[in-house]
Chains A and B, each alone.
Chain A
């Protein structure tokens, strides 16, 4: 099974440890992983701003980079959702469709494709889980509070396999953090207020770390935490799942 590793642009530039952990974790679990070197961005920033037609070059670049792998795995629910919903290519519709069906967010891939039941990882800290909206509601990584459906959580199930980790949830389990792509600058006041409220809700649990499946939410929350001089640290879920274990 050959896996193409898709590292979103902001992880590539600002959060390489999340990418490194994803790669190491997949290799640890026996996958053959390649990282196509000319990847850039999924195109979501343009499309969500109303300019989906300007993301065509990103679509083409994405297809050129990830042609021929069995699965594409990414440590981002939001970018994965964008590819799954919006990747198109006029000259190569078949390849675009194949990619839309083989792109997976990391925790989804570990749960549904690799069907991981145990992990050799230890992370003896109190961790708050932020359910990122696009992963949760878009990819259905966990049950949603609005719906009448049996409770489940793919990230939660994986975190439960980590030794020493004490998982906590905020009182509003799946409220948006307010990042929202360009929303975070064009609706700055609202974006920050939403982020502050999420942090306040998590802070009630006296957490050491705040984690999520998306570094974009975490980047926004980290910006607020650091401005508040909070001791709470952010960490991508891949880094926790890849933490060294006992054996």
Chain B
């Protein structure tokens, strides 16, 4: 797998497209700002959301059991999966029990994380993603590049070409209304054919055993209401204690995600309807390990709004695929090292630590501070490239010795002045697209000794 820096460089090679990607996501960040500024109590809401989540994480075991008991009493079948494979197997077993071959699925980042579609495809089951953006990338055999806007890396024309190929729409017709209608017709058929609907879960309420699924397209509802079997997949961190807490989270979620006051559909599921079977799969997949890490525990507060993606100056210019994982962006950079430190050791360095992510986060996760802390873990686990480690060690050696630092500075400045070719070449990543700083004749310290020291 190529590292983030290389994938980012490849993305930026098409500068016009990079600008378009950056501006599209910045527009969403601005919509979020506007929505936040209409609520004078915005910062208070963030504080409440953070505290509710902190509290919940501190008693997660109790709330999960409370949720399970209440859901069971409502007639829902509850399953537990300690990892992605087990989750996938549970889904497959339910599908087999009912001899189902056609499955529809609304947006669920958890199933992306577990690679459910791939697993089911190898078992001969067709899963149709019913979120429009997810359906587009599914046609293209791509993963989502953004957790809320899965096809944000594609232009209207790209979508038109994809639909022409898969849905036989007119070649070159990139009218959004026309394309949406074509998708709708196609998806309606899939909803009617499906024997089973999979949805995600945005919030699972311990005191009621109910859960809430938020979409803008109503596709989760369409799937769950038409199919005889509904499976809702959730990570253990989706729990909130009480239904009244939804008043905090639903107000924050859509405003943070897209700048809407609320998602178009915020659907509350409590029990299976007459003749329907409803399952909930509660998945750990590394979350309890993260819960045990004091420095990184509060990353589990995340409600997957993607505000940190939209504000991140790195994400906007490198695209979702540069993070080579299901959950990209700043939050992905602090979640993924927990799942596989070696494979994702590049991600905490894909940041300038500017801190904008922490500021937009509706549940106040200290994302940029956790990026810094992951860097410490990565270095101590020996996952920093040897050349970089050597460079840092050299810096540390010089900067620890004031006299040596002064000599090194003098030699460095002399070389910059008289032997510029030593540095001014394309192997120096600074010089590739930037001039070196003009070398000062003398250091500040030398000036001070000459002019000020009594």
Contacts and interface: CB of A to CB of B under 8 A. Distances in A.
Interface of A: 7, 9, 11-16, 19-20, 23, 35, 37-41, 43, 45-55, 57-58, 61, 133-134, 137-138, 144-149, 172, 174-176, 178-195, 197, 219-220, 222-224, 226-227
B435 A226 contact: yes
Contact of A222 (B389, B396, B435, B449): B435
A50 B388 CA distance: 11
A145 B33 contact: yes
B355 interface: yes
* 5 nearest A-B pairs in the assembled complex, by CB-CB distance: A223-B434, A180-B352, A50-B379, A57-B400, A146-B359
Contacts of A48: 353, 372, 375
5 contacts: A9-B399, A51-B392, A51-B393, A55-B396, A192-B433
Nearest to B449: A37
B75 interface: no
A184 B449 CA distance: 32
B415 interface: no
A109 to B, nearest CB: 18
A134 to B, nearest CB: 8
Contact of A16 (B352, B401, B440): B440
A235 to B, nearest CB: 13
A147 B392 contact: no
Contact-size category for B: 35 or more
A104 B434 CA distance: 31
A35 B448 contact: yes
A46 B389 CA distance: 10
A-side interface mostly: helix
Contacts of A134: 353, 355
Contacts of B449: 37
A134 B368 CA distance: 11
B238 interface: no
B279 interface: no
Given A54-B392, A194-B313, A223-B436, A180 B351 contact: yes
Contact of A46 (B42, B317, B396, B401): B396
A178 B343 CA distance: 24
Interface stretch (B5-13, B57-65, B118-126, B143-151): B5-13
B40 A194 contact: no
Contacts of A58: 396, 399-400
